[in-house]
Amino acid sequence: MNIVGITACTAGIAHTYIAKEKLIQAALSLGHNIKVETQGSIGVEDKLSAEDIANADIVILATDIGIGGLERFKNKQVVEVPIATVVKSPKSLIQKIQAKMANSYSKS
């Protein structure tokens, strides 16, 4: 899978970056490609390109606050979760998404 995501916590500091790293590590360990943008107290970092988004199979929004730029994900499958979900069990989250996508493809 090609995954893109955004992480953003209420303070915009620690959990934003912890969630980003955990998502990346989990996705890579499962053999997926991933790019993650952060939106925090210092603004947007590692902004997703239009090409990143176009190539994405899934968008993961791990946020506890409102984020900007959601219109970029129109016509994409989007999974929204609290940032704590990604911090606590990123691999499980990605495996659930993977299974759900496999089931939807097998029904087509």
Rounded to an integer, what distance in angstroms lies between the CA atom of residue 94 and that of residue 92?
6
- Residues designated catalytic: 9
